[in-house]
Structure formats: C-alpha cells, structure tokens
Homo-oligomer: A and B are copies of this chain.
Amino acid sequence: MIVLQFDGLIPVVVQDARTGEVLMVAYANDEALRLTRQTGFAHFYSRSRKKLWKKGEESGHVQKIREILVDCDEDCLLYLVEQTGAACHTGYRTCFYRTIDGVIVSEQIADPSKVYANKGQ
C-alpha cells in the first residue's frame, strides 16, 4: 500500500468513471483524503474558504468514489467517481465546459440559482 503523506495540498483530478469526462480539479490535504476513503465520497480542502468540504454538501451533487489513483511522483490524485447532477457550480456537467477560445462544449444540466437556493437548510 502506498502511504501518501503530504504537507499542504495536492491537486485532485476528478473524472467521471462512466463517461471518462474530466469533471473538475480541486485540492486535498491529508484529512480530505482520509475522509474520502473513509466515507466513499469525495472530500476536498478549499483554498479560498480555508476549510474541508464534501463535494455536494450544499448542492446534493455528490461524487461517489469508485477508485483513487495516484501519479508516478505521488503528488497528484485522480478520483474516478459516479457523479450525481452537475459537477460545476455553474450548473454545467463539468467545470471544463469551455474551450480556451470561449466556445461552450458541455451542457448546463442544473440551474445554479435553484441548486444553491436551500443553502444552509
């Protein structure tokens, strides 16, 4: 077993296990990874809010872990997940919904104003 021990944060790529689509990139610390493995649902560390979060804790758009892969240098993770709803807070299926030239290449499958309307409830 690989024992990952890292100070600070490492990037996590999240990929849809069914479609192969890359959904998002977020960051994890040791605790986020531990919770992800323990609960079977993706957890991250928010750099802006400076706290742990479970993906979908507000929106319900959780990510059930199917597999966790680690890269050659052991400084990056890949979560293969079953995504519920939209991965992106904008309502798009993936955060990578645009080309660098601004062309939309994904679908908006949720209305963010509704998804986050019950925040805190």
Chain A residues in contact with chain B, CB under 8 A?
1-2, 4, 11, 13, 15, 19-22, 24-25, 37, 67-73, 76-78, 88-90, 92, 95-102, 105
Contacts and interface: CB of A to CB of B under 8 A. Distances in A.
Contact of A100 (B13, B15, B20, B68): B68
A53 to B, nearest CB: 15
Contact of A4 (B13, B100, B105): B100
A105 to B, nearest CB: 7
Copies of this protein in the assembly total 2
Nearest to A2: B102
Contact of A99 (B69, B90, B98, B99): B69
A71 B106 CA distance: 11
